[in-house]
Structure 1
Amino acid sequence: MNTPAVQGTEARTARITGEDGLVSLRQEWLHPAIVDPEMDSMRLLSETAMRFPEALSFSSGAPYDGNHDLAALSFHLERYVKHLREKGLPEERITRTLFQYGPVNGFIQDEVALMLKRDEDIDAPPGSIMITHGYQEAALVALRGLFSSPDEVLLTVSPAYVGIRGAARMLDIPVRGILESGPDGLDPETVRESARALRAEGKRAVALYLVPDFSNPSGTVIPLEARRRLLQVAAEEELILLEDNPYGLFARDGETLPTLKSLDTTRNVIYLGSFAKSAFPGARLGYLVADQPVTDAEGTTRLLAQELSKAKAMYSVGSSSLSQAVIGGILVENDYTLRPATRELAAVYLERLDTVLDALAGHFPAERHEEHGVSWNEPRGGFFLTLRVPFTADLAKMERSARDYGVSWAPMSMFHIEGGGYREIRLGFSNLAPEAIREGIARLARFIADTPRD
């Protein structure tokens, strides 16, 4: 007689093999993260943009691409090769560095460490840095290393970038959202309360994910004093802070705040960075800084980034050597600082932000709010802002907006961890020229005016 396990296996085999002998699968057999419709939202946004190419898109956060130059790729590659020669590396080793598999954690840690010191005042030894395939791999690697039990929970600001929720979902890590509290974003005392509430439930908050500077999707900035209090809470509640900082270089002059990592005196922060915004997204290169010492049973101590290399080795073996060389060349050419090199780019983004705010004020005057029911926040930088509308803003309405009005946007509900944001939309303006922004807001105003309140 077959055991239940064997019977189940046979039944499954019978169901997936058709009369033609070809295998097919049922969706419910896949991992829950693959089946979860919430994991599909960003793909649906992209597909909507492809289906309606004439629509002006506020739905993405793509960087400005008007400064891309094909000649710069070869220049920066050659600049890095020259840098290696100046360091005395033999030609054979240089060739192997570019053409062969490289170290799992990358080979431009020295250059990134210098950049972090000059741009962010972060003292990161090269061994604490891992070069990754963009932010997303950095998040996956960090989460995989930190979480080992189903009772361990990831806290995250809500609304949050969908990539962190997706990474946690793929790794079966439970997530608890902490709502932003107004224009200053995350309240440190709410973080403390959330960690203690989880302990009361028999669970443990291991880490907190946040974007302190110009958060995606809301554009909020955590003030300096709140950053200091957040570090204190993290130390007291034994929390690791996962600080994601893709937009910090693009603050207005005189408004740059120190990163959490630069203020971190207790090693409670893992810093997640990317060159997608500061260089170009096609490089698919990011990094994490994990300088926490890890001691094994024999008493040997290594930095957390070195321990996490085991996870990265299984995810991707290593990061692209050519991408590392190009980014390395950019860093060398700019004397290991990207702040001066990105000031013109920052001016582009700030002009676009100001254009969005001006256009919104023109179409939706504050004194006529009862008539149009529209309001918004006013971030000081970044790529996004949040628009509140008098109807439920879902994917179906976004598609109608793109199809019939020629303008697309992102429903804020897809960024909320545990529900919310149903009457809000995210406007991403980073890759739209000012004239396109003005036309796009005009189209959006017509869509809003024609959409019944609910």
Structure 2
Amino acid sequence: MRLDATSLHASLAEPVLGSIGFLNEITARYPDAVSFAPGAPHPDLLPDLAPERCFDRYLDRFLDHLVRDRGHTPDRARRLLLEYGPSRGLIGDLVAGALRRDHAVDVPEAAVVVTVGAQEAMFLTLRTLFGSRGDVLAVADPCFVGIRGAARLLDIDLVGVEETPFGLDLDALAARCRTARGTGRRVRACYVAPDFANPGGGRMPLEVRHRLLELAEREDFLVLEDNAYGFTAPPGTELPLLKALDRNRRVVHLGTFAKVCFPGARVGYVVADQEVVRPGSPGTLLADELAAAKSMVTVNTSPLCQAVIGGMLLEHGGSLIAMGRRKAELYQRNLTLLSEALDRHLAEGLPDGISWNRPEGGFFVRMTLPVPADTALLERSAAQYGVLWTPMAPFHLGSGGDHRLRLSCSYLDPAEIETGVARLAEFLRKEIR
């Protein structure tokens, strides 16, 4: 049996769906290269994890609750962690408690759905919200490839909004809303990462956060907030989540435990407290609809993985901030080292047209070149100079990223950052004309 590629979904032929696989492949081919490509948690943070201990910690709490409050026998309660679980998850109460304690986000447990990573949270949210071909999703340009890929798989049209160092250009977003209305369509939702977005690195000031929520109310769209990197903010510079400022339930909050906790567990969550109204029926929460959709996608998030994450939360007093504190210190150190190394090694002798940004947090630095930063240039960088980076074209809706690359510092040690930037400097001086 041979299948004609044109008979498959058209999204599978688009570069955005193959970008992560390509980076994994080229990294495997050049194992001795210093790689600024992966935006993954640092491996030194993983040996400290104790999944068995955390599982036991959560199990004690879980058994106590089910035996005392619900009349289960201990054996029956323990067995529930080995069976299919509820689609909305087991640790929603801990997630809601952590958001309340750390971020003043006061939502009920029923508004939380525990997902297979933030990627499933995005997919379920888009599938549930976008019921009409006339609905479009607004995204920053550039934006995270995961949301682009999910939208494309679901045949949801995207409109790009220019990104500034202070987050989305809200005047441009308002213009996109007007343009959509003029063609009989509507911006149904806007995806934003307000703190140190991947890949742009921009951060949305408090005033802009308020203005975004006002615009959402005025133009009647939802805000999909992804806050994977907010925990890396330097101490004393923390800003409230959009969900903490949300007074009219305009914000659907997407979260993950991958960066602050345990990436291999693949546990994320979505907070969706919007009311869904059907004529003649009692209202439900958007979270209920997401859980129904999830029951047809992954059925449930692994109870064992949830138990491990739940135990980790309990060990840190139910606090996401406490859980991520040591990780944040490492990433702040690495970002500072990367910025200092770039300033030192690239201070002079560079061709014209090379520049980079200096974000205060997150994992990424964005660099602009006077030539296309494409896969051919990356191959030359890896093979001849032993340094890898990420082309930014897949992050852009148009051609705006053709001359940009992304440097990630999260996966590297200080010595690797220094060596990698020295190699990058040699590569830029010798290869860029």
- C-alpha displacement of 1:218: 1.3
Preserved contact between residue 372 and residue 449 of structure 1 (Cα < 8 Å): no
SS at match of 1:393: coil
- Residue by residue, what CA displacement relative to the aligned partner does 1:98-120 show, whole Å, maximum 9, x if unpaired? 10001011011111110111122
* Distance (Å, rounded) in 1 between the aligned partners of 2:273 and 2:349: 50
Match of 1:218 in 2: 200
Residue 320, structure 1, aligned to residue 302, structure 2: yes
- 1:72 maps to 2:50: yes
The worse-fitting range, judged by mean Cα deviation, of 241-250 and 64-73 is 64-73
Deviations 1:411-432, CA, capped at 9 Å, x for gaps: 1111111221221110011010
- Secondary structure, counterpart of 2:136 in structure 1: strand
Aligned to 1:58: 36
Residue of structure 2 in register with 1:18 after alignment:
none
Matched to 1:171, the amino acid is L
Residue of 390, 401, 405 corresponding to 1:425 = 405
Letter in 1 for 2:37: S
Alignment check: 8 A CA contact 2:121 2:254 kept: yes
* Partner residue, 2:18: 40
1:244–1:272 contact (8 Å) kept in structure 2: yes
1:371 Cα shift? 4.1
Please state how far the C-alpha of 1:34 moved relative to its aligned partner: 1.1
Mapped partners of 1:372, 1:447: distance in 2? 15
3-state DSSP class of the match of 1:180?
strand
User: 1:122-201 to 2 correspondence within 5 Å?
Assistant: 122-181=105-164, 183-201=165-183
Render the CA deviation track for 1:63-104: whole Å, top value 9, x for unaligned: 112122376110100000111233352313332221000101
Query: Cα offset for 1:308?
Result: 1.6
Counterpart AA for 2:153: M
Match of 1:16 in 2: none
Query: 2-side partners of 1:132 and 1:329: how far apart?
Result: 17
Q: Would the aligned equivalents of 2:356 and 2:367 in 1 still touch at CA under 8 Å?
A: yes
- Which residue matches 1:14? none
Counterpart amino acid of residue 319 in structure 2: T
Tell me the secondary structure at the aligned position of residue 168 of structure 2. coil
* 1:7 corresponds to: none
- Structure showing greater radius of gyration is 1
Q: Do the aligned partners of 1:391 and 1:451 also contact (CA within 8 Å) in 2?
A: no
Conservation of the 8 A alpha-carbon contact between 1:187 and 1:226: no
Q: Deviations over 1:11-58 (max 9, x none)?
A: xxxxxxxxxxxx111111110011223321111111111111111111
Q: Structure 1: which amino acid aligns with 2:113?
A: M
Instruction: Report the AA paired with residue 382 of structure 1.
Output: G
SS in 2 for 1:222: coil
For 1:177, what is the secondary structure of its paired residue? strand
| SS of residue paired to 1:391 | coil
The one-letter code of the counterpart of 2:147 is I
Q: SS at the partner of 1:195?
A: helix
Counterpart position of 1:406: 386
Do the aligned residues in 2 keep the contact of 1:115 with 1:337 (CA within 8 Å)? yes
2:364 aligned to which of 360, 368, 384: 384
Q: Deviations over 1:224-279 (max 9, x none)?
A: 00000000000110110000011111110000100100000010000000000011
- Quickly say closer, same or farther: Cα 1:131–1:157, change in 2 above 3 A: same
Q: Shift of the alpha carbon at 1:377?
A: 0.7
The alignment of Structure 1 onto Structure 2 pairs a total of residues equal to: 428
Partner of 1:11: none
Q: Which amino acid aligns with 1:114?
A: G
Quote the Cα distance in structure 1 between the aligned partners of 2:336 and 2:329: 10
Amino acid at match of 2:138: L
2:212 is the alignment partner of 1:245: no
* Deviations, residues 263-304 of structure 1 (Å, cap 9, x unaligned): 000100000000000111101000000000112222311110
TM-score (structure 2 length as normaliser): 0.96
Length-normalised TM-score, structure 1: 0.92
Which sits farther off after the overlay, 135-144 or 409-418?
A: 409-418
Aligned identity (percent) is 43
8 A Cα contact 2:338 2:418, kept in partner: yes
User: Structure 1 residues 335-344 or 63-72, which shifts more?
Assistant: 63-72
The answer (yes or no) to whether the contact 1:364–1:374 under 8 Å persists in 2 is: no
443-452 vs 79-88, which moves further: 79-88
Q: Which residue type is aligned with residue 344 of structure 2?
A: G
User: How far off is 1:340 after superposition?
Assistant: 2.4
1:310 is paired with a residue whose SS is helix
Unaligned runs of at least 5 residues, structure 1: 1-22
- One-letter code aligned to 1:42: I
The equivalent residue for 2:102 is 119
Counterpart residue number, 1:374: 354
Q: 1:289 to 1:369 in 2, by over 3 A?
A: farther
Q: Secondary structure, in 3 states, of the residue corresponding to 1:315?
A: coil
* Paired residues of 1:156 and 1:210 also in contact (CA < 8 A): yes
Structure 2 counterpart of 1:49:
27
The answer to whether structure 1 residue 451 and structure 2 residue 408 are counterparts is no
Match of 2:88 among 105, 112, 129: 105
Deviation at 1:396, TM superposition (A): 1.4
8 Å CA contact 1:285–1:319 kept in 2: the answer is: yes
Unaligned regions of 5+ residues in structure 2, if any? 68-72
Task: Give the superposed CA RMSD.
Answer: 1.4
| Contact 2:256–2:269 (CA under 8 A) maintained in structure 1 | yes
Question: Contact 1:81–1:94 at 8 Å: present in 2 too?
Answer: no
Q: Which runs of 4+ in 1 moved over 6 A?
A: none
Residue pair 1:364, 1:372 contacting (<8 A) in 2 also: no
Does the residue aligned with 1:296 lie in a helix, a strand or coil? Answer: coil
Q: Structure 1 400/370 Cα, relative in aligned 2: closer, same or farther at 3 Å?
A: closer
